[in-house]
Amino acid sequence: MNSVRRPHLMRIALAMGMLFASQAVHLAIAGPIELDPRAPTGPGDPISMQRGDGDPAHVGAWSEPREWPVIAIHGALLPTGKVLHYSYPDDTEQSRAMVWDPASDSFELVEGLTDQFCSGLSFLGNGRLLVTGGNDDGCLFQGRLIATQFDAFSETWSSVGHMSTGRWYPSNITLANGSVIIVSGLNQNCVLTSKMDMFDPSRGMVAIPEGERALDLFPRMHLLSSGKIAHVGSEQLTSTFDPITRVWENVDFSNAGYRDQGTSVLVPGTTDEVMIIGGYVNGSPSASCERIDFNDEETGWQFTGSLNLGRAHANVVILPDRKVLLVGGGTNDFYDGPILEAEFYDPATETWTLVAAQAHGRMYHSTAILLPDGRVLSAGQD
């Protein structure tokens, strides 16, 4: 994995989910979706693709793209209803960061304390956003030691100290007690770290030596109802970590294999079911998806409905109607072969349906965020 900075158009688009399209009177209606010549890899045939009927009330609609004052590489919906986006620095040593207020359509510059490009992020129980690591220049993709927090109400940054190791492309997982587990990333020597840290708002940063395990960059982690953390990729081996006993347990192997640049999501309407989606499998964009129920010790990973268009680098959003929206992605490396059509997943029928297409590709370094009014903000790609 590498992190390439390229000339960019800082453009975003807004989409309205299926249940909310009739309220989006200001959004442009997407035109008819033509048959895409890119056949999906894995199960599925272009002739049998599931496509919406073209009615914006059923397939949603994207607004016209507009300029954005920051590349939306990282993003979060704040408890104030505003959106924080940040990227790498422009002409300073701090990441460029902006807060957008959807209500007033206004922006506020809130530059970070350091270069937070390629960091991990998750919310604390008090609503502050914990950002871990970032990008340094001592070697290629050098991880930073610092962890910071963003206060959404004062719109200010502050340091919360150093982790036990530098991290570039880590993952954060917030626990039920408000603590945050931090795993993976490249360290100060630009080498993958196996160290685990925990940030406790009352105690600060604490190393968890019993949790050490080498996990791929930006590992896909989900908190289960048991309090355990599930790790579901990119690797084929699936495991859980218990923050109380501090023990890792291997669970199963996924069926398709290593899913490079894929994604995962807790399946809405279920308890402790996780779905892994697409990615590059054996070098090709995969349409296959799999589900696992962590409350069922016998079944393990099972294939579910395939995407209509195999893709990697996609973003996933859970909609208010408990459907899953897959946005962006593409078929070739980091930036080439973008797929403009989004897809809906219905957990009940286990089927994917192609819906409205965006005007611009959203692959590497892009984000998608559900807004309080039900729209989806799709942005980024440098």
- Mean pLDDT, residues 273-279: 98
Strand-pairing partners, residue 98, are: 85, 109
Residue 25: is it exposed, middle or buried by C-beta count within 10 angstroms (0-12/13-18/19+)?
exposed
The DSSP element (H or E) to which 56 belongs, if any, is: helix 56-59
pLDDT category, 60, cuts 50, 70, 90?
A: confident
Residue scoring higher pLDDT (214 or 49): 214
Question: How confident is the model over 211-264, as pLDDT tens digits?
Answer: 999 999 999 999 999 999 999 999 999 999 999 999 999 999 999 999 999 999
pTM of the shown model:
0.88
| Contact present, 130 and 118 (Cβ < 8 Å) | no
Listing from the earlier edge strand, what are the strands of the sheet with 263-266?
A: 263-266, 273-277, 289-293, 302-304
Q: What is the mean pLDDT of the chain?
A: 88
Asked if the bond preceding 234 is cis, omega within 30° of 0, the reply is: yes
pLDDT exceeds cutoff 80 at 42: no
Q: Say how far apart CA 350 and CA 365 lie, in whole Å.
A: 28
- Mean pLDDT, residues 69-73: 95
Alpha-carbon separation of residue 263 from 13, 241, 266, 326, 327 (angstroms): 21, 20, 11, 10, 11
| Contact present, 12 and 360 (Cβ < 8 Å) | no
- Mean pLDDT, residues 20-46: 29
Residue scoring higher pLDDT (40 or 265): 265
- What pLDDT score does 255 carry? 98
Question: How confident is the model over 169-211, as pLDDT tens digits?
Answer: 999 999 999 999 999 999 999 999 999 999 999 999 999 999 9
- What pLDDT score does 14 carry? 57
Task: Point out the least confidently predicted range of 4-8, 91-95, 268-272, 309-313.
Answer: 4-8
Q: Say how far apart CA 46 and CA 282 lie, in whole Å.
A: 21
